[in-house]
Amino acid sequence: MVYPAESRNSSTKLDSTTWNLPGQLKLHIHHLNDPSIAPKQLLSRLHQLFNSIIDQGRTYPIEQPMTQEQFTSYFFTADLFIGLLTDKPINQISDNEWDHVLGGCYYVKPNYVGRSNHICNAGFIVNLHKRGLGLGSTLGKSYLHYGPKLGYKGSIFNLVYQSNVASSRIWDGLGFTRAGLVPKAGRLLDTQGNEYYDDAIIYYKDFESS
């Protein structure tokens, strides 16, 4: 039997939070659980960033760029959290401000179905033009705050490629356990665009023991 992807959208919008970044910057995290309330320019910018990541072929297993509709469906299967470098409410940000204020985002959704849907998974996007600000680790810290509030008992990352050193540094630093290694799990691209096979680390964290 083939099970469809399971959704556990939160019916309650969680409160926004503010996180300190190096250099006195702050990242404001907002919960979105309905794409219809998200500004179109925000969705468009996230879509462009995600396709840029897909084109690089180094972190996500997806090979082909997504359409806007496909991306929105993929990232809004459950709950989305947006990180902004401004304290303005999302609905007060003008179209030409998004490139400057968008730090990144991540979705949170069940990794399994049915009796195991209390274990979540997340997918992250960091604004390629804002790297070096500590956004990845700060988004990760906020994930550990919001995941349990959505009712999840733990988190698993199925495919963190070994070449993605920055990601491993974040999850190791946040207390995730290296639960396994999948040999040759990814057919990735190097910086010259050549394909090679890379192993993938499986990460797990028990929210209730944190």
pLDDT value, residue 37 = 84
Q: What is the CA radius of gyration of the chain?
A: 17
Does the predicted model carry a pTM greater than 0.85? yes
What average pLDDT does this structure show over 95-114?
94
Check pLDDT > 70 for residue 2.
no
% of the chain residues with pLDDT over 90: 82
pLDDT value, residue 192 = 93
Structure tokens at 102: 């968008």
The helix (run of H) or strand (run of E) holding residue 100 is helix 98-101
All domains in the chain, ordered by first residue? 17-153 (3.40.630.30)
Asked if residue 204 lies in contact with residue 155, where contact means CB atoms within 8 angstroms, the answer is: yes
Check pLDDT > 50 for residue 81.
yes
